[in-house]
Amino acid sequence: MSTVTLTAGQVASASGGELLQGDPCAPIGRVSIDSRSLAAGDFFVAIRGERFDGHQFAAEALARGAAGVLLDTLPPDVTVRAGQGAPSVIRASDTTAGLQRVANDVRRRAGCPVVAITGSAGKTTTKEVTAALLATRYRVFRNKGNLNNHIGLPMSLLELRDAPDVAVVELGMNHAGEIRTLVGIAEPDIRVWTNVGDAHLGFFASADAIADAKAEILEAATSETRLIANANDPRIMSRIGDFPGRVTTFGIDVPADVEAGDVQALGLDGMAAEVRTPAGTARLRTPLLGMGNLSNVLAATAVAVSMGVALEDIVAVAATLHPAAHRGELLRLPGGVTLVDDSYNSSPAALTRALETIGVATGSARKAAVLGEMLELGAHSQGLHEACGRAAAAAGLNWLITVGGAPAKAMADAAVAAGLPAAAVHHLGTSGEAAATALKLTRPGDLVLVKGSRGIGTDLVVDRLRVEFA
pLDDT for 84 equals: 66
Residue 15 and residue 101 in contact, taking contact as beta carbons nearer than 8 Å: yes
Residue 321 and residue 288 in contact, taking contact as beta carbons nearer than 8 Å: yes
Distance, first Cα to last Cα, the chain: 48
pTM attached to this predicted model: 0.94
In this prediction, residue 104 has a pLDDT band, given cuts at 50, 70 and 90, of very high
Query: Of 95-99, 330-334, 361-365, which gets the smallest average pLDDT?
Result: 361-365
Q: What is the pLDDT of residues 144-180, one digit of tens each?
A: 877 899 999 999 999 999 999 999 999 999 899 999 9
Say which DSSP state 142 is in.
E
Label residue 184 exposed, middle or buried (CB < 10 Å: 0-12, 13-18, 19+). middle
CATH topology of domain 112-318: UDP-N-acetylmuramoyl-L-alanine:D-glutamate ligase (3.40.1190)
In this prediction, residue 85 has a pLDDT band, given cuts at 50, 70 and 90, of confident
Neighbours of 42 (CB within 10 A): 20
How many residues comprise the chain?
A: 470
What dihedral do alpha carbons 50, 54, 57, 58 form, nearest 10°? -160
pLDDT for 364 equals: 75
Cα separation of 366 and 416, whole Å? 18
State the DSSP H helix or E strand holding residue 104, giving kind and residue range, or none if neither: helix 95-110
Helices (H), 194-310: 207-214, 234-237, 290-306
Cα separation of 88 and 21, whole Å? 5
Say which DSSP state 354 is in.
H
Residue 22 and residue 89 in contact, taking contact as beta carbons nearer than 8 Å: yes
For domain 329-468, give the CATH number: 3.90.190.20
pLDDT for 199 equals: 76
Cα separation of 308 and 229, whole Å? 18
pLDDT for 1 equals: 63
Q: Output the DSSP codes for 143-176.
A: -STT--STTHHHHHHGGGGG--SEEEEE---SST
Distance of CA 250 to the CA centre of its chain: 20
Residue 324: pLDDT over 70: yes
Residue 219 and residue 180 in contact, taking contact as beta carbons nearer than 8 Å: yes
Residue 25 and residue 11 in contact, taking contact as beta carbons nearer than 8 Å: no
Cα separation of 182 and 217, whole Å? 9
108: Cβ contacts below 8 Å, ≥ 6 apart: 187
pLDDT for 83 equals: 66
Distance of CA 49 to the CA centre of its chain: 21
Say which DSSP state 453 is in.
-
Q: What is the pLDDT of residues 33-84, one digit of tens each?
A: 999 999 999 999 999 988 889 999 999 999 999 999 999 999 999 988 776 6
Query: Of 145-149, 236-240, 241-245, 409-413, which gets the smallest average pLDDT?
Result: 145-149
Q: Which residue has the higher pLDDT, 349 or 448?
A: 448
Q: Provide the 3-class DSSP secondary structure of residue 368.
A: strand
Q: What is the pLDDT of residues 186-240, one digit of tens each?
A: 999 999 999 998 877 788 889 999 999 999 999 999 999 999 999 999 999 999 9
Q: What is the pLDDT of residues 121-133, one digit of tens each?
A: 899 999 999 999 9
pLDDT for 198 equals: 81
pLDDT for 452 equals: 96
- Tell me the percentage of the chain whose pLDDT exceeds 70: 99
Name the CA radius of gyration of the chain, rounded.
24
Query: Of 34-43, 277-286, 388-397, which gets the smallest average pLDDT?
Result: 34-43
Neighbours of 177 (CB within 10 A): 10
- Tell me the percentage of the chain whose pLDDT exceeds 90: 90
* Residue boundaries of the structural domains of the chain: 8-92, 112-318, 329-468
pLDDT for 348 equals: 94
Residue 353 and residue 386 in contact, taking contact as beta carbons nearer than 8 Å: no
Structural domain 8-92, CATH architecture:
3-Layer(aba) Sandwich (3.40)
Residue 224 and residue 233 in contact, taking contact as beta carbons nearer than 8 Å: no
State the DSSP H helix or E strand holding residue 134, giving kind and residue range, or none if neither: helix 123-134
pLDDT for 22 equals: 94
| Mean pLDDT taken over the chain | 95
Q: Provide the 3-class DSSP secondary structure of residue 396.
A: coil
Question: Do 112-318 and 329-468 share a fold?
Answer: no
In this prediction, residue 8 has a pLDDT band, given cuts at 50, 70 and 90, of very high
In this prediction, residue 437 has a pLDDT band, given cuts at 50, 70 and 90, of very high
